[in-house]
Amino acid sequence: LPTMKMLLLLVALLSAALLASAAPPTCYSRVLSLSKEITESFKDLQTSKTVDLCVETLPRLYLDIHNYCVLAKLRDFVAYPGCDRVVEVNELKEKARSLYTILISYCRRDLVFLTDDCNALEIPISPPIEHS
């Protein structure tokens, strides 16, 4: 009998672990990961040596999904007329369009904007410098 209880407990724990890892992403987690992916792709694009010079004219794309101004930032970036011939920029615009759609459609009621400071989206906050 104690062996049977232990076996049932082990099966319950394993199935709970499997269900937890297979859980679908929440709106918040999806938006957060996509915004980080877009921000990193933009940084990579700007530092790439092989990309067209028009990339330098693109609007800055630092995203903070807790800032209400992120909606206007995404709209402006997607509507920016330059660099249409650069594949990487078109891919980035498509990701930005997806993020905007998720923010205003699917996650509209799930997200809470903590600020509406548009200037904060122009200059990314640097991580603190650690002193040794």
pLDDT band at 57 (very low <50, low <70, confident <90, very high): confident
- For a pLDDT cut of 90, what percent of the chain falls above it? 24
* Closest-CA residue to 111 (of 121, 102, 124): 102
51 and 90 in contact (C-beta within 8 Å)?
Answer: no
122 and 62 in contact (C-beta within 8 Å)?
Answer: yes
* Closest-CA residue to 105 (of 24, 31, 14): 31
**Whole-prediction pTM:** 0.71
pLDDT band at 127 (very low <50, low <70, confident <90, very high): very low
Amino acid at 58: L
